[in-house]
Amino acid sequence: MSNLITKLKSKKEFLYIASILIILITINFRILNTWFIIDDTANIFCSSFDTINLLFDKGTYLYFNQLFFTPLLPISFKLDWILFKMNPLGYHLINLFVAFLCCLMFYKLQRIYFTPFASWIGTIVMSISLPMSFDISWVTRKHYLWGFFFTLTAIYFFKSWEENKKKYLLLFSLITTLISFLFKEAYAYLPALVFVISAGSISDRAKNSTPYFLILIVYIFWRIHILGGIGGYPGSIEKSFVYLFNKLLYLPVNLSKNLYGLSYFPFLFFIILAFLDYKWLIFLILIIFIVISPFIFYPAEDFLLANKALSFVAVFSFILSYISNKLLKHRKIYLLIFFLFLIPALFGSISKIRLSQNAVIQLSSNYKKASDEILKNSNEKILVIGNYSYYFSNLEDIYKKMLKKDFPYIKSISDTVVLPYLDKTDFDKIILTQNLNLEQDIAFESDVKILTGSESKQFILENLKSKNFSNPPDVNFTPTSDHVIININDSRKGTYLRCLYMGTYVGCYPIPKKYLFKFNKVKHIDRIDIIFLSENGIPSKPSSFVLQK
């Protein structure tokens, strides 16, 4: 009889797990064949770099990213490239598979505490969430998925080690902790989380979490060595403590509003938890603030922040499992009433997912249109203009260096302000990519316009007409062996653009008056221009720094 019960339980859990996979596929089926967008081509091209160099050579890694140290992201694209080349379906299927692994590990972790049914409920809610869907729809976001999977795995190994004290489990936990950091630093909260979830006294918790903090220190020094500093978004660590603390307190409300359409959603859970067990209430609120703490340095809010908050969703899904588990032990009518309260949040989550998918589909179709237009004729000379022009520069590298195929001559620029300073202006075709941005309101206005013949010539002439350029900004360039220090001594009010000339790519980016730009070993940088834009949008002549080959 006991064997029969065990088999029935195993079959039930298999059905729970299978249903999670079915839900993931159903929710995300419409975006599985969307074309590459934004950073995807950069990750594909950088996957061709040597693995050891991506991990340890700053000159190689800095071509990929100068702000964040996530070397396992391009490395994870190596297998995708071998299997799928330029077929986006395969890349999305890999992300879907990793999302399923995350759900599977989350379910397994919850089973330490809850019944199969309660664990399944929380996992279902996590699978029907904006971050999970967005990470499947945008190929580049696999580092959030892999990082989350290894974070959950590290926690699971740690809890298993606590139970039986087998050293290899602790070793596996520490290894997966480091892997999660190397995928995405957003999971650097793990040592603090281990301290909180450890059993025993404060001293026991400190002892248990010390190896994890040592792993974090190793990662930080590794990051500083490669990036030449702590990295992160420019200016993010210059905010005051009061500003960052207030942002941390407000984050749960902001995230709930943009994930579920209900800003009060966390407080509903808190009230129920207060009635069930106030100790768990304090415990889980503390965990919420731990997992969202890395995002106080993220400059954006609303959708752009919410789509990164997979750990936040996981904590609320865990709370849901806890409440379900508790209510199952009482009258089931209470559980039914609780589920009725959750229906608006579930529909809100699905609505947010659909909106996000629509934005990605719109972006994808425009990137596909522009890419197809470039690939039509390898004998053409094409100018591509758009805020993510590096996408097309990396597309060129993929076709020329990885696929060994012919590719037209292209010049990819992010701003028309550099048109007067290009070495060539006789283009057969101009591709204007407008609003190819992840911000939803902007993404829905994205468009691609193709100018040929007289239209393209007229566009060039209009932008090359003599303008009332202001004087070039007063800039000091101080080069070293691996970087150049840029000090802008100008007193005018406006925006200063750093325009980087690197092969066929010219990218302009607003910078502060004190700025450090690091060189890379992959592509030679021909020139750096600093251009001042007045508050009325009038550009200056450039102050230039030419690098010797």
Q: Is 289 exposed, middle or buried (0-12, 13-18, 19+ CB in 10 A)?
A: middle
The domains found in the chain, sorted by start residue, are: 373-464 (no CATH), 475-546 (2.60.40.10)
Retrieve residue 478's tokens: 């101080």
Residue that the structure tokens 């100068």 belong to: 66
Direct distance between the N- and C-terminal alpha carbons of the chain, in angstroms, rounded to an integer: 79
**In the 8-state DSSP scheme, what is residue 36?**
P
**One pLDDT digit (tens) per residue for the chain, 549 residues:** 345 345 445 778 889 999 999 999 999 999 999 999 989 999 999 999 999 999 999 989 999 988 899 999 999 999 999 999 999 999 999 999 999 999 999 999 999 999 999 999 999 999 999 999 999 999 999 999 999 999 999 999 999 999 888 899 999 999 999 999 999 999 999 999 999 999 888 998 999 999 999 999 999 999 999 998 888 776 666 677 787 888 888 888 888 889 888 877 777 777 877 777 778 888 888 999 999 988 888 877 788 888 899 999 999 999 999 888 888 777 677 777 777 778 888 888 899 999 999 999 999 999 999 999 999 888 888 999 988 888 999 999 999 999 999 999 999 998 888 888 888 778 889 999 988 888 888 888 888 999 888 888 888 888 776 667 888 999 999 888 888 889 999 888 888 999 999 888 998 888 888 888 888 877 888 899 999 988 888 888 899 988 876
Six token digits for residue 3: 């064997």
Its pTM stands at 0.92
Q: Kindly provide the b/e burial profile for residues 428-439, where b requires at least 16 CB atoms within 10 angstroms of the residue's own CB.
A: bbbbbbebbbbe
Q: Which residues contact 261 (CB under 8 A, 6 or more apart)?
A: 344, 345, 348, 349, 351, 352
Q: What is the dihedral of CA 238, 239, 242, 245, to 10 degrees?
A: -100
Return the structure tokens found at 285: 């609120």
What gap in Å lies between CA 75 and CA 32, rounded to an integer?
Answer: 22
